[in-house]
Structure 1
């Protein structure tokens, strides 16, 4: 099983100045490739931006679709609302999570487990993610996060806008998420692995 370092990924992690200047923002972290679904999120952003003119999308990561995503932003008229910051060093990543209004992972499939979801929840961010195997093992829909059908841009836009206009709901999801990620804390995960080894060896 995967785990997360709760000492690093936490709600009070220091937000880097460059992240602070971009607030309020919705965050995506991942490799820029087809299966991560960033294009779906980009196509959802015009509807989000029309309802929330101050909100940006911050994209952390790099990959083969970067140029294509830049072109898509220009075509959609949202180039000024989306900031591609490239890869972020591991020790600075928690602060980018902590500075976000919410975290979105629109992956289309092929995810063994949603480590980014766990990191975002540990950082105290409400999470919206695709209803795909791996992700649905981490998130219980509408209890500690929101799940939408993969590739469903309008539903994704509605989910993002819904949370941006409902701070109380965000707080509920955040509190539930922080309880959920306790089972992914490294000491507990290490204990589970050790238990499996003991059972195998006995």
Structure 2
């Protein structure tokens, strides 16, 4: 059992995040790809783990962070001082595999308990039964835990909600990305508002203002204005609405260019749309996969950043672009309302609304004074979302749960 107050020198915090198969971007199922995904920081998980580890080291000598996740290849890695434990699950965690899921969840949690964490940061809430099983083990072991939701929607099935009540109500704290997400879970599961807090995910500090001419030369991007898309070509991101909207105004701005970074199941349809519409030909450039290290320069060159998302956790891509000064044209999702201060620092349209998106693109492209007045403010506005800021809030929350205070200072 853990003492009510833990000596700071003994504190070991575990950032416990689980993904299923391809949730961390990889090109196949080999361990080397897991390593590359972490090292290249293609996913927010590696960024969060590194930032929390650095903040803990600054505040508490001898602290440690580990990450435990589901992956299609069982392996163990150490990157930037963070221990990564990847475990292959036995199968799909559904009601059909109820006993298998129960047995495997218990074995997995025993491995985590063997790591002797003082606190577990749980981020795998979509697997309701695994969360339930793990929470009962943590309660029995006396290990405090916090959970963090990244999905915007509470499960609709009554039996899933019933399972979720126990782990949510026994958690020391609940972390949500937006106020709307927090409200939905609090009302849907009958949670205590005093135990909930809103802490968005962050973005890397390498996304900041740079010299635009230098970035133009480095990227080779041309256009006036330059529009940038960074996201998967999927139904959820909805590139079709954005392309149709851009097509309505593109001929009004013949020198404009839309660069699209990303790939996905709609790629063939996107290419067909571009190739069969003269107003899009030679103006839309599909770049596919681009290494994350090149994105800051591209975002600095961009005048406008656009996405058509129907669902997001908190959208790191939009934060990165805005931190580099790209004017945002986004949908009315809670995360985008949060990032733009309800449209004060950008333009928002309803998901799937081609006319609304076109109108906002027209204004952002045509009203240069308006666009530039917002662009000049964005880098300062977005500092509140950097990983350093987010990690500081997370570690402060850990300290409150554990009843400790920092022992080292800068």
User: CA-to-partner distance for each residue in 1:83-105, whole Å, 9 max, x for gaps?
Assistant: 00111111111111111121001
Return closer, same or farther for 1:162/1:69 CA change in 2, 3 Å cut-off.
same
User: CA-to-partner distance for each residue in 1:9-68, whole Å, 9 max, x for gaps?
Assistant: 122165264743432321100011111011001111222212101111110011111111
Larger radius of gyration, structure 1 or 2?
Answer: 2
Matches within 5 A, 1:90-101: 90-101=292-303
User: Is contact 1:102-1:125 (8 Å) kept?
Assistant: yes
Matches within 5 A, 1:113-152: 113-152=314-353
Return closer, same or farther for 1:92/1:34 CA change in 2, 3 Å cut-off.
same
* Relative contact order, higher structure (CA 8 A, sep 6+): 1
Name the CA distance, whole Å, in 1 between partners of 2:255 and 2:216.
Answer: 19
TM-score (norm 2): 0.47
Structure 2, unaligned runs of 5 or more: 1-199, 404-410
Structure 1, unaligned runs of 5 or more: none
Instruction: Find the counterpart in structure 2 of residue 22 from structure 1.
Output: 222
Aligned-pair CA distance for 1:133: 2.7
Q: Secondary structure in 2 aligned to 1:195?
A: helix
Instruction: Find the counterpart in structure 2 of residue 70 from structure 1.
Output: 271
Return closer, same or farther for 1:65/1:154 CA change in 2, 3 Å cut-off.
same
Tell me which stretches of 4 or more aligned residues in structure 1 moved more than 4 Å. Answer: none
Instruction: Find the counterpart in structure 2 of residue 177 from structure 1.
Output: 378
Instruction: Find the counterpart in structure 2 of residue 79 from structure 1.
Output: 281
TM-score (norm 1): 0.91
Return closer, same or farther for 1:140/1:40 CA change in 2, 3 Å cut-off.
same
Q: Secondary structure in 2 aligned to 1:137?
A: helix
Name the CA distance, whole Å, in 2 between partners of 1:17 and 1:62.
Answer: 25
Q: Secondary structure in 2 aligned to 1:34?
A: coil
Number of residue pairs matched by the alignment? 200
Q: CA RMSD in A?
A: 1.7
Name the CA distance, whole Å, in 2 between partners of 1:48 and 1:18.
Answer: 28
